[in-house]
Structure 1
Amino acid sequence: MSGNVRTTARSRVRSSSAEPETDPLRQETSSNYHRTKYESNSTSNFKLFLTITFFFIIIIFFLVHHFVTSAAQPHLPRVVTPFPAPKIMDLPQFQGEHKESLYWGTYRPHLYLGIRARTPQSLMAGLMWIGVKDGSNHLRHVCRQEDALSAYGWTKHNGRDYGHQVLVDHGMILTTEFIKSKGEGSGYGWDWAVRIDVQIDKSKWNEDFGRDAQLFFYLADEGGNVLDAGRENLNIRESSLLASGSRTDIGNWQLHLKSTDDLKLHYSGFHTPHFHNLSDLVEENLASQTRKHGQMQLPDSSDDSPNVLVFQIIGGFPFTTDIVFISATNSESSRVEKRVNSLTGDSLSNELKYKEQAYDEKIEKIFNLAEKVDSESISVGKAAVGSLLGAIGYFYGQSKIDLSRTLIHSEHAAYISYWPAELYTAVPCRSTFPRGFLWDEGFHQLVIWRWDIQISLDIIGHWLDLMNIDGWIPREQILGAEALSRIPEEYVPQHPTNGNPPTLFLALNGIINGLKNNEFNVMDRSEISLFLERAFGRLDAWFQWYNETQSGEQMSSYYWRGRDNMTTLQLNPQTLTSGLDDYPRASHPSSDERHLDLRCWVLLAAQCMHSIEELLNKETKPEKNYGSTVKLLSDLEILNEMHFDDVHGAYFDFGNHTEKVQLKWKELKARRQLVREVLERPVLKLVPQIGYVNFFPFMGRIIPSGSWILEKQLELISNRSLLWTDYGLRSLAKTSSLYMKYNTEHEAPYWRGTIWINMNYRVLSALHHYSEESGPYQEKAKTMYKELRSNLIRNMVHNYQQTGFLWEQYDQVNGKGKGAHPFTGWTSTVVLMMAEAYDII
């Protein structure tokens, strides 16, 4: 114990200034021990200091690098940031054999005949010819309504490897047939051939126009690869070879021409970076030759390193020629001569006949038309499907995005480019709208998914892959120089605040119901499920974009963005985003608007998403409960409170509105022009216009079959003083204040009375639904259904026989086709009317 006390005392004393007596040896040992311990601690601390300093330097370096990089490379706006998920088109089902089988096609729908591959830098082919109009020669190439062809369009096309087209040009009749073949030795994408048959209608052809036809078939390589002409003096009796070349995708290739008729050939080679104006190059070349030599023929010469070769084919009426493209000619098993022979002459005739028969049989198998319509209607149904599939195109480029509406205090338009993207899609009209339109595409797919589910999923997948990080998809796709050349510059920019009806959900609903009804084989069912699994995130984001950005002031209300509330020229500000353009809405756009059609589109999307969730056994998230959304938007009491008018028995838009608006001539800026004049103060109320929009709840089957409201809808639809005609339903009632009124001095009425087939199809679908639902109005719905279906089919078939076209719209007075033609987009739903195949909700 004393020892403990001493030790403790020593310890305490050693901390004082007095030094006690100690053993020298122990003192030395203790001193060494403490020095070693101190030196060890100092070394460790120094190493720790160096380590921490090093890490701080690294962190500072990365921070500086980040800020420097950020300054050098500004962060891209969200609007041009792709959706952060694996692309749908990277799914295995879209690779391999599927991708190769669709590589080549008639994917340049804006041309009378245009062929390319589904790749950004493609080898392309096309046809031109010299036609006669009003006694003058005109070079045909790009589909134009001003060419005034009597008829043109794919009367048969399977979307994959066969097509048959007839073009009638003022007495000259050209038949073009396209076919692909996977022969022994074929390269990637297979071989393809075009047969061109030229005839004249002697009753319409004046011999002063000439006794020879002049065709121009060309190849153009977007990748800049050099094309080689077969020889300087082309003579098909000596050799069928026209051209050859090489590409990384298909290897070496050759182009051959064969004919049993006496043809003369000339050619010209061009080197150009531009491919949207090839007909200008040919016209300039022919004009130069005519001035120099007095002959309208190509010079049989070429620029250095040509990437365009044009072959002039001259023959007396009538004649037929076969043009064959052979790939992988450098392989050991190329068998070029055998493959050329298999795609020309009698062999080609037999193969075309087989493909035509297969097309006819597939039409009957899928649509079962023989039991439902007459032979004249069947031929129109075949042409409707063929024209739609033959107008599928492939595009590559960047959309132009207008940011001015998203920037604060922006006085000038600010544009930015979307990321480079490809799009495989059907188009509404080859002459007027040869590009992708989001709201049209859903109607196209109602036909296409029934015809070929793989092609349909491919198209829908391409569209969904265009989605940005916010879930927005540009509504009009103008991709690449050829597409840009067909539209005025002011209409190119897309606005990220603006939507379009999400009609792809119409098609997806049909596909899902097809799954439920076992309409697909095992492989198709598997691929559809994989597609929906991959697409779900994008579809969810797309729905949320509509639900959040297009919502209104009141819960479960929606309104289309993009209306101009400052206009002084438009009688009723357009709603282009709705797809119904000049259809009358509230006279004074505001955030108080409630658009009935958009509310129903959102409901359709929610129903589809709920079905997909159930199909894939997805876990329902409380914040994204599609079942609850469907229940809310289907609630008839809420819908009626927001949109229904008891007096009219109709559903209406709601907004800041007055009927007393007119266009009046005034002197403005030293010229006389029509200006909008408002004669009374607008107030918030239902917008009293009767037309397509009023019947969206009817189209969506929201109204119970036993409800008196259904009876009122049927009365309004069948009222001849309002919508009903012998040719289909008017878009706007005759009693409307804006019926067939110009919207500006130059904007003729568009959705203000004429008959549109997509909306008639949806009304017909609903009538069919209610005609099969037991209730007090079942018989009335059945009678109306039969009459409306008959009126629509009869009028479209009659117009096709008279004019050779399906049309964008039909006159409500006489039933004649109007507007863009051939309009083989949603007007092709005529085949679904014939087949009684309707969208199922």
Structure 2
Amino acid sequence: MPPKPMPPKHASRPPASRQAQRWAKDLKLIGAAAALVAAFLLGSAFLSPRSHRVSSSAPKRPQSASPPTAPVPIALAGGTLSRFTAEHNASLLWGTYRPGVYFGMRSRTAPTALVAGLMWTRARPDGGVDATTLRHQCEQDGLERYGFTAHDGRGFGSQPIVDRANGVHLTTTFVATPAGGGGGGGGGGGSSPGGWAVRISGEPIAGAAPKQHLFLYLSLDTEFAPRLSRGAALGKLEVLSFQPEEGVHVGGQVEEVGRFSLLAAARTQGGDPLPLRAWGSAARHHSHLNVAELVAEQLPPQQPQQQQQQHDSRLDLNGLVPSRSRLLVLQLRTSGEPFEIDATLIGGGCGAGGAVGDEECGALLARWSGGALSAEIRSRTDAFHARLASTFGLDEQREGGALRLGGSPLGEREKGFAAAALAAQLGSLGFFSCKSGVPSSDRLSSSSPRLVPLL
């Protein structure tokens, strides 16, 4: 019998279409890996503090053919590492470490302490809150734009929010205030351990419903609040003499942060004061995780047309704040004109029992609100764009001329896109603290895991 012919070597190869699919899949994986590496390198290059670069003052040795000697270890002076750690932690004490919401604040070095956030919605025809368009978590459709366009990764960030469904254009900005309250990133010699300043400005979009409801809230972390040290709570305190008209003073004490005061005020673009209503809850499971549902429950349903009034206080939060609240919400109802809210967190606390005297608290409020805060925001915005251009050489003249994209020099539009791409990456960082546990085998089938949003 003649031998059976052997199949050609290429008979076991997959068809060309399958081979192409495999190549395409491999290219996608390679592209994704390259994108991750590029993002990491960009962020690392921008975040590396220039003050931490170490240069040697020793003269350079001439090149030699002999093999190099082993490097000599550098002995750190006592306390150097601990001082660096303390400074590093202080620079990350507060930030926008809540990527799950449109705007929020929390601590990196004290993650179980205090959480702040923003919600907003349009007003109903009767002036009440339209809960169907309440914005809080980054999960709703209809926002034309949100995301940071300037963020230095540590102490400053600004983002525009365009919400046509609610008819408002918001700008949220935060500035981390240094210990002592001084400007420019340095200490001011005061007794305050540092905090933050937040500005929320808004204006109605032409042709849309102009009236808005905004909610700025503070919350103790619900997972750890039941086990916090003595006196951990929030409360509404007496307004201080140096606060503007219609201002609000919120005080509290939490572990790892200590005492603090939040001084908030709202005004129109023309400078007229706007009232802020408040509501608080001491219930154990009331926190930032369910604040949207809690606020909706506190507000009345829509009134019949014949009962609608121009401004009915019954449509706002009731103003009741328990002395040991875990959640505290401030509400602003706008009348259709541009507005601003300034909220300044002062570490150490102001007023009776606070560690910061009235004179220093007044100076800190003046430094981190109003016109002084506007100037600080402009300065930090300019510094962010200048460092971006310097770090990545956006304005450098190269051998073939200026840096070009698609044959054309980089314009303001391209530089703005680069700034937004980096700022969105830095502003989307989140830090979460939790306890892990492994359930026993007899509980695995009978219980399902409890899902908690990363807020």
Measured against the shorter chain, the TM-score band is 0.5 to 0.7
Q: Is the 8 A contact 2:148 2:157 kept in 1?
A: yes
- Work out whether 1:176 is the aligned partner of 2:172: yes
Q: Which residue of 2 aligns with 1:278?
A: 291
- Residue number in structure 1 paired with 2:199: 195
Q: In 1, are the aligned partners of 2:113 and 2:257 still within 8 Å (CA)? A: no
Correspondence for 2:319 = 300
In the alignment, the residues of structure 1 paired with residue 443 and residue 299 of structure 2 have an alpha-carbon distance, to the nearest angstrom, of 48
SS at match of 2:284: coil
**Whole-Å separation in 1 of the counterparts to 2:424 and 2:381:** 14
Q: How does 1:258-657 map to 2 (within 5 A)?
A: 258=265, 259=267, 260-274=271-285, 275=287, 276-287=289-300, 295-303=314-322, 305-316=324-335, 317-329=337-349, 330-331=354-355, 335-370=360-395, 371-373=403-405, 374-375=410-411, 376-399=413-436, 481-483=452-454
The equivalent of 1:125 in structure 2 is 116
Find the aligned partners of 2:324 and 2:302 in 1 and give their Cα distance: 21
CA contact (8 A) 2:211 2:334 kept: yes
Quickly say closer, same or farther: Cα 1:289–1:116, change in 2 above 3 A. Answer: farther
Q: Is 1:112 aligned to residue 121 of structure 2?
A: no
Task: Specify the code of the residue in structure 2 equivalent to 1:261.
Answer: D
Determine which structure has greater relative contact order: mean sequence separation of CA pairs < 8 Å that are 6+ residues apart, divided by chain length: 2
Per-residue deviation, 1:264: 2.1
Paired residue secondary structure (1:393): coil
Contact 1:402 1:416 in 2 (8 A): no
Q: Deviations over 1:344-397 (max 9, x none)?
A: 111101111110011001111111234234222211110011011111111011
Please tell me the root mean square deviation across aligned C-alpha atoms, in Å.
3.6
Cα distance, 1:254–1:229 mapped onto 2, change above 3 Å: same
| In structure 2, C-alpha distance between the alignment counterparts of 1:400 and 1:148, rounded to whole Å | 38
What 5-or-longer segments of structure 1 have no aligned partner?
A: 1-90, 405-409, 418-477, 486-841
2: CA distance between counterparts of 1:132 and 1:241? Answer: 23
What is the deviation of 1:328? 1.1
- SS of 2:149's equivalent? strand
2:148 aligned counterpart, secondary structure: strand
Q: Distance in 2 between matches of 1:186 and 1:213?
A: 38
Q: 1:290·1:297 contact (CA, 8 Å) conserved in 2?
A: no
Structure 1 residues 121 and 364, CA, compared in 2 at 3 Å: closer, same or farther?
Answer: same
Shift of 1:288: 6.3
Q: 1:130 touches 1:213 (CA, 8 Å); kept in 2?
A: yes
1:159 aligns with 2:153: yes
Aligned to 2:47: none
Match of 2:215 in 1: 216
Deviation at 1:290, TM superposition (A): 6.7
- Residues 137 and 360 of structure 1: is their aligned pair in 2 closer, same or farther, counting only changes over 3 Å? same
Comparing 269-278 and 160-169, the one that deviates more:
269-278
Equivalent position amino acid for 1:353 in 2: R
| Mapped contact 1:167–1:173 kept (Cα < 8 A) | yes
Query: Deviation of residue 95 (structure 1)?
Result: 2.2
Taking structure 1 as reference, are residues 403 and 250 closer, same or farther at Cα in structure 2, changes over 3 Å only? closer
> 2: CA distance between counterparts of 1:264 and 1:411?
52
SS at match of 2:431: strand
Query: Which position in structure 2 is the counterpart of 1:693?
Result: none
Residue 229 (structure 1) shift: 0.7
Q: Which residue identity is paired with 1:481?
A: V
> What is the DSSP-based 3-state SS (H/G/I as helix, E as strand, rest coil) of the residue aligned with 1:482?
coil
One-letter code of the match for 1:347? A
Does residue 101 of the first structure (1) align with residue 133 of the second (2)? no
Aligned partners of 1:250, 1:337: CA distance in 2, in Å? 21
**Structure with higher strand content:** 2
Give the conservation status (yes or no) of the 8 Å contact 2:94–2:106.
yes
Give the superposition deviation at 1:124. Answer: 1.0
How many Å separate the matches in 1 of 2:434 and 2:206? 45
* TM-score scaled by length of structure 1: 0.35
What displacement does 1:92 show?
A: 4.3
Distance 1:398 1:289, change over 3 A: farther
Whether contact under 8 Å (1:400, 1:416) holds in the other structure is no
Q: Is the 8 A contact 1:401 1:416 kept in 2?
A: no
Task: Indicate conservation of the 8 Å contact 1:166/1:173, yes or no.
Answer: yes
Q: Deviations over 1:43-79 (max 9, x none)?
A: xxxxxxxxxxxxxxxxxxxxxxxxxxxxxxxxxxxxx
Which residue number in structure 1 is paired with residue 41 of structure 2?
A: none
Note the C-alpha offset of 1:111.
0.8
Match of 1:441 in 2: none
User: Aligned to 1:129, what secondary structure does the other structure show?
Assistant: strand
Q: 1:139 aligns with which of 119, 134, 141?
A: 134
Matches of 1:231 and 1:283, distance apart in 2: 27
Distance 1:288 1:245, change over 3 A: farther
Which residue type is aligned with residue 204 of structure 2? I
Q: Who is 1:78 aligned against?
A: none
* CA distance 1:249–1:290, shift in 2 (3 Å): farther
Count of matched residue positions in the alignment of Structure 1 and Structure 2? 321
Output one character per residue of 1:653-672: Cα deviation in whole Å (capped at 9) or x when no partner: xxxxxxxxxxxxxxxxxxxx
Q: 1:322 Cα deviation (Å)? A: 1.1
Q: Which amino acid is 1:179 matched to?
A: V
* Aligned-partner Cα distance in 1 for 2:216–2:331: 7
* Structure 1 residue 307, shift from structure 2 partner: 1.3
